[in-house]
């Protein structure tokens, strides 16, 4: 059976697409799937450094499409996680080098080799985005609980619907303390505004910075809440759609819980 192609997109930059692509790829591979994660950001590649595979790049996606190499030559195998491969972007080419039809051709080949192909979409709605969604079966839209990110997510969701793709939403970088004090949009607020199904909630987690610093997969860090959330999202993406979504909450001590109950009566 052919594998599926999932695009990770957001519209706004810096909301966590690349980290999420890398982590979901790693989690799916650890669940036994053969996974390719593709960096779609031609000219500004970064997935390679997030995955810690930057010094093993020989060929890239543009080389595959131009026929300079085979997919197997360009796909970098992760040595820490079995069945996880990265197809890096080109750093020197123009972003208009690839066309949607090239991506459809490439992903059709990838479907034969991999159970899941994740496309790490660049920010914006230009060529890189068009290339990414032209080839995708499913989409995950990432946003943070901010006005700008939610607005861009709304635009992206509209463009995905126009391609007959019904996306699922990840709300990233939730700070439970701020949500509770009313200084951050809650995921309920975001879902209400966007009216779209959730696939996961990810808490703000310092571990992400550490994982990115060192290029180690976030999900291999056992104490990372974000990593655990990603693993659960990976399960939902692949065969367990009904796995309950955990709401990030403040770890409270007994006395604080008592205190908050008391203050709520006022």
Instruction: Return residues touching other proteins (CB under 8 A).
Output: 146-147, 150-151, 154-155, 177, 179-186, 189, 193, 259-260, 263
- State which residue, 89 or 157, has the beta carbon closest to other proteins: 157
Cα distances (angstroms) measured from residue 225 to each of 168, 173, 195, 231, 240? 21, 11, 26, 10, 20
Q: How far is the CB of 175 from other proteins (least distance, A)?
A: 11
- State which residue, 14 or 241, has the beta carbon closest to other proteins: 14
- State which residue, 186 or 221, has the beta carbon closest to other proteins: 186
- State which residue, 148 or 214, has the beta carbon closest to other proteins: 148
C-alpha span between 235 and 28 (Å, rounded): 7
- State which residue, 93 or 189, has the beta carbon closest to other proteins: 189
Q: How far is the CB of 17 from other proteins (least distance, A)?
A: 20
Yes or no: say if 31 and 234 are a contact pair by the CB < 8 Å rule. Answer: yes
C-alpha span between 165 and 159 (Å, rounded): 9
Q: How far is the CB of 194 from other proteins (least distance, A)?
A: 9
DSSP symbol at 219: G
Cα distances (angstroms) measured from residue 149 to each of 141, 152, 157, 194? 11, 5, 12, 11
C-alpha span between 89 and 105 (Å, rounded): 16
Yes or no: say if 60 and 87 are a contact pair by the CB < 8 Å rule. Answer: yes
Q: How far is the CB of 11 from other proteins (least distance, A)?
A: 12
**Residues whose CB falls within 8 Å of the CB of residue 123, separated by 6 or more in sequence, listed in order:** 10, 11, 12, 13, 14, 17
Of the candidates 197, 50, 47, the one whose C-alpha atom is nearest the C-alpha of residue 132 is 47
Q: How far is the CB of 7 from other proteins (least distance, A)?
A: 22
Q: How far is the CB of 143 from other proteins (least distance, A)?
A: 11
C-alpha span between 141 and 157 (Å, rounded): 7
Q: How far is the CB of 88 from other proteins (least distance, A)?
A: 34
- State which residue, 56 or 155, has the beta carbon closest to other proteins: 155
- State which residue, 37 or 153, has the beta carbon closest to other proteins: 153
Q: Which two tokens stand for residue 85?
A: 């491969």
């Amino acid at each position: 059976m052919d594998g599926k192609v999932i695009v990770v997109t957001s519209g706004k930059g810096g909301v966590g697409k690349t980290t999420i692509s890398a982590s979901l790829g790693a989690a799916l591979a650890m669940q036994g799937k053969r996974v390719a994660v593709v960096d779609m950001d031609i000219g500004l590649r970064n997935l390679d450094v997030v995955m810690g595979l930057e010094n093993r790049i020989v060929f890239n996606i543009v080389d595959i499409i131009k026929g300079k190499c085979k997919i197997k030559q360009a796909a970098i195998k992760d040595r820490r996680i079995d069945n996880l491969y990265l197809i890096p972007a080109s750093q020197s080419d123009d972003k208009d080098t690839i066309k949607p039809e090239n991506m459809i051709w490439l992903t059709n080949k990838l479907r034969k080799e991999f159970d899941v192909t994740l496309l790490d979409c660049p920010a914006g709605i230009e060529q890189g985005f068009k290339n990414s969604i032209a080839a995708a079966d499913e989409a995950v839209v990432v946003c943070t609980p901010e006005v700008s990110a939610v607005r861009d997510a709304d635009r992206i969701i509209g463009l995905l619907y126009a391609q007959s793709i019904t996306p699922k939403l990840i709300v990233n970088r939730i700070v439970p303390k701020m949500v509770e004090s009313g200084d951050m949009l809650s995921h309920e607020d975001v879902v209400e505004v966007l009216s779209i199904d959730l696939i996961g909630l990810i808490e703000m987690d310092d571990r992400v910075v550490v994982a990115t610093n060192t290029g180690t997969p976030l999900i291999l860090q056992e104490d990372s809440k974000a990593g655990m959330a990603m693993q659960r999202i990976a399960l939902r993406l692949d065969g367990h759609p009904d796995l309950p979504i955990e709401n990030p909450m403040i770890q409270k001590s007994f006395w604080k819980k008592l205190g908050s109950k008391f203050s709520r009566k006022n």
